[in-house]
Amino acid sequence: MNEDGKKKVWCDYQKEIAPDHYYYARSCIRQNFFPGSEETFLKIVGEVLGKDIYDDPHQTTCTGIAYHSAAIPMETTMTVVARQFSLMNEAGYKNFIPSCVTSFGIYTEMMEVWEHFPETLEKTREQLRNATGRTFRLPENLVHTSDIIYHFKNEIAAKAMYRLVNKRTGKPLRGVEHIGCHYAKIFPVKGLGGAEFPCVLSGMIEAWGGEVIDYPERRHCCGFGFRNYVIKENRGYPLSNTKRKFDSMEPYQPDFVVTNCPGCTFFMDRWQYVIAEMEGKTYGANGMGIPVLTYEELAGLVLGFDPWSMGMQLHQVSVEPLLEKMGILYDQTKKYLGANGEALGRPELPERLKVYENDHPC
Amino acid sequence: MNLKDQLKNDVRFVEGLKACINCGICTAVCPAAQFYDYDPRRIITTVQKGNEDEIRALLTGDTIWYCGECLSCKTRCPRDNTPGYVVQALRNLSIQSGLYTQSERGRQQIKVKRQVGDRMLAYGYCVYIDEIDTKEHPEQGPVWDWYRKNAQSILTRLGANYHGEGAGTLRRISDADMEELRNIFKETGAIKRFEHIEKACHE
Ligand code: SF4
Ligand code: SF4
């Protein structure tokens, strides 16, 4: 195949990522469940990479969970999305980067609807004007926040203090990556590598010295299912989905799982706890779980950030087995301290899932 | 207007149903089909046929509420249909027409409204730590109780701006911004939908 033809074939699997000047759109779930991750991202992009990134106090939810739970009409989501874009315009930015895969899907879907059905764009403009007096222009570049980390993965590797390599054996650590359904399944051309060769997380793992595990249920949904999780009686659905994934990855003995979407991180961490408590089944070594990380946490560890300052003590599955393998120097006595160094007690121990404590699982 | 025509007013229906060849690929990849008595191919066949009674049966039944909206079906359909979008349109019509109250799964909508809808209007976030406890969410585990008990100190340590003014993680969203959000909900019919759901629940 000639060079041009080759380029054409692969262009669907690439996408443009703006090199600087980002408008940051926060995630409801990431802020609540992994509250250190977004600060870690801002620090990596702003301080480590020296890029301009704006954290706007005026933004709100994108309504994604409500939209996918049929709680609100589509027009509400379109108009909230339009307001977020209006805020970006007002702040003088053109590159919109949402910190959530559901949000990424929402923004991309609404822009496509406006393109395919121009009358909906007119209606959104009118509804936004009526409700807020605002107007808006579309972003010039819209990518997920993990795309930014991917884009600068080699710069991060060059500044790395630690690598995804087992310090004792010298072998690459083996990671499972979970990119989340709405990253590339709705709009494959908007995801790095498309739906066939998604590389946003695998690219990071490999750039930082690790090895990616391919396992049968790699692309299976974590099972969030929106209303299938929000409503307590339906939660068997996400639990069963996640269990299917862990049963499938178990024989490959992953050292860690890294996820793209904050919802997936939450489920893959917490359902391991639930499976352990309900069935006594654990997937990690010594009765513990497999550590599940946000990609911000993974990048932060590689760069030498303190795990407890990134909030990794808020995971239910202990992360120490990974820290040990990477040879990270961390202070276990600081894990459960507060802002002023005060002792905050410690979480109760689960009945069955082992928690890493004082150099051994208990 | 008959139900099929009402569906055609929803862009998700237009986008989601081109022409189905009944291949069943969507069902093969569908996680909801693995765990529930749920078959996206059958839903698509029903709406494509356009029989009013069968569409009404979908709107009054549990089936449409099983979909997880993962959109795995969108990637794989060889004819560019999206069963997940069609389900969104069906759910929307079920709620608009009030038919959702006839199924157990449909009636769960009151819980969605109170949990996600009310929280967005109170905080500007879909979820907010202050409202999530391990009684309703036992899967959060003991670490969540510890986190909530010490939220202010832990979040300050992590550089968050919990309940604070200005930017930052878990900041309080200002009254002016909340006012804009609520106005959008009013203008676009979300408030009306919430009121209808509450009213139907009391009846
Ligand atoms: S969006 Fe719904 S129908 Fe489509 S694959 Fe996911 S669960 Fe199945
Ligand atoms: S994959 Fe597409 S064409 Fe095949 S049954 Fe499903 S909707 Fe119809």
pLDDT at res. B179 = 98
A130:B15 CB<8 A: no
pLDDT at res. A199 = 94
Closest ligand to C-alpha of residue B79 is 2
Task: Yes or no: say if B66 and B78 are a contact pair by the CB < 8 Å rule.
Answer: no
Residues of A in contact with B150 (CB under 8 A): 338, 344-345
The mean of the pLDDT values for chain A is: 95
pLDDT at A5 over 90: no
Q: Please give the residue of chain A at the shortest CA–CA distance from B151.
A: A338
Q: Which atom of ligand 1 is nearest to the CA of B68?
A: 7
Note the maximum CA span of chain B: 60
Residues 143-202 of A with CB under 8 A from B: 181-182, 184-186, 188, 195
The mean pLDDT of A199-208, rounded to a whole number, is 97
Residue type, B138: P
Q: Tokens 């933004």 — which residue? A: A59
pLDDT at A13 over 80: no
CB atoms within 10 A of CB B37: 9
| CA angle at B151 for the pair B146 and B153, rounded to the nearest 5° | 110
Backbone Cα Rg of chain A: 21
pLDDT at A23 over 70: yes
Note the maximum CA span of chain A: 65
Whole-angstrom distance, CA of residue A322 vs CA of residue B81 = 42
The band of A360, judged by pLDDT with boundaries at 50, 70 and 90, is low
pLDDT tens digit sequence for A237-273: 999 999 999 999 999 999 999 999 999 999 999 999 9
Closest by CA to A42, choosing from A148, A142, A143, is A148
pLDDT tens digit sequence for A271-290: 999 999 999 999 999 999 99
Task: Yes or no: say if A27 and A103 are a contact pair by the CB < 8 Å rule.
Answer: yes
pLDDT tens digit sequence for B64-101: 999 999 999 999 999 999 999 999 999 999 999 999 99
Among B88, B155, B184, select the one facing A35 at the smallest CB separation.
B155
Distance between A171 CA and the closest CA of chain B, angstroms = 32
Whole-angstrom distance, CA of residue A281 vs CA of residue A319 = 18
Closest by CA to B74, choosing from A186, A112, A196, A218, is A186
B184:A83 CB<8 A: yes
Task: Yes or no: say if B52 and B60 are a contact pair by the CB < 8 Å rule.
Answer: no
Q: Whose CA is nearest to atom 8 of ligand 2?
A: B20
Report all structural domains of chain A as residue ranges with CATH numbers, in order of start: 22-145 (1.20.1050.140), 156-361 (3.40.50.11810)
pLDDT tens digit sequence for A96-126: 999 999 999 999 999 999 999 999 999 999 9
B65:A188 CB<8 A: no
Q: What is each CA distance from B126 to A109, A135, A175, A312, B117, in whole angstroms?
A: 19, 24, 31, 23, 7
Q: Please give the residue of chain B at the shortest CA–CA distance from A220.
A: B31
Whole-angstrom distance, CA of residue A246 vs CA of residue A282 = 10
Residues 80-109 of B with CB under 8 A from A: 88, 91-92, 95, 108-109
| Annotated domain spans of chain B | 3-102, 110-202
pLDDT tens digit sequence for A312-338: 999 999 999 999 999 999 999 999 999
CB atoms within 10 A of CB B196: 16
Closest by CA to A351, choosing from A280, A283, A292, is A280
Q: Is the ipTM of this complex over 0.90?
A: yes
A136 touches chain B (CB under 8 A): no
Closest ligand to C-alpha of residue A228 is 1
Whole-angstrom distance, CA of residue A304 vs CA of residue A161 = 5
pLDDT at res. B203 = 81
Dihedral sign (CA A228, A65, B10, A194): negative
pLDDT at A358 over 70: no
The mean pLDDT of A46-62, rounded to a whole number, is 98
Among B112, B152, B188, select the one facing A231 at the smallest CB separation.
B112
Task: Yes or no: say if A229 and B108 are a contact pair by the CB < 8 Å rule.
Answer: no
Residues of B in contact with A232 (CB under 8 A): 136-137
pLDDT at A1 over 80: no
Q: Whose CA is nearest to atom 8 of ligand 1?
A: B30
- Burial grade of A5 (CB within 10 A; 0-12, 13-18, 19 or more): exposed
Q: Find the DSSP H helices in chain B.
A: 3-8, 11-16, 25-29, 31-35, 40-49, 52-60, 72-76, 83-97, 104-107, 109-112, 118-123, 142-149, 151-157, 175-187, 190-202
Task: Yes or no: say if A136 and A63 are a contact pair by the CB < 8 Å rule.
Answer: no
Q: Whose CA is nearest to atom 6 of ligand 2?
A: B26
Distance between B92 CA and the closest CA of chain A, angstroms = 7
Distance between A29 CA and the closest CA of chain B, angstroms = 7
Low-confidence ranges of chain B (pLDDT < 50): none
Closest by CA to B47, choosing from B33, B58, B36, B38, is B58
pTM of the model: 0.96
pLDDT tens digit sequence for A135-166: 999 999 999 999 999 999 999 999 999 999 99
B127 touches chain A (CB under 8 A): yes
Q: Which two structure tokens, joined as six digits, stand for A300?
A: 């932060």
| CA angle at A328 for the pair A258 and B150, rounded to the nearest 5° | 70
CATH for the stretch B3-102: 1.10.1060.10
